[in-house]
Amino acid sequence: MGRKDNEYCHTKGEGKCVQKDDLEKIMPAYFESDMIVFATPVYYFDMSAQLSAAIQRVYCIGKPAKATKAAMLISSASPGTGEGAVVSYKNMLAYMGVEDMGVFALAGEECKSEEKLAEIRAFAKGL
């Protein structure tokens, strides 16, 4: 892609990205959802590269059309290592004008806990 395509989405593309890739599979859900749930393992004190890439690819839309709420699910080996991911998530929500409904950060054995899973299911039902 040449420089002439810079900011195509925000200038001529009406929110459509000039890059054609798997983003096109995610985009309809991103447009239609009333809530976005971000889920990631902690890789070196931050969210996974895959989630980060997906977030960066919705730049063309900027703010989701309908979503007013979000939550984040984090799994890690050690407790307290997901703070970098939480900071990025919160900054992004502030930018999007979307409300944080909760962050679930589970570590080690907690990630396999039926009790924790039930807690998250109850949270989801209560939304």
67 binds ligand FMN (CB under 6 A): no
Structure tokens at 100: 């944080």
109 binds ligand FMN (CB under 6 A): no
Give min distance, CB of 78 to ligand FMN, in A. 4
Interface residue with ligand FMN, options 6, 45, 53, 68 (CB under 6 A): 45
Is residue 72 within 8 Å of 89, Cβ to Cβ? yes
**CA–CA dist 57, 48 (Å, integer):** 14
Distance of CA 24 to the CA centre of its chain: 16
Q: Is 105 helix (H, G, I), strand (E, B) or coil?
A: strand
52 binds ligand FMN (CB under 6 A): no
Binding residues for ligand FMN (CB under 6 A): 41-45, 75-78, 81, 111
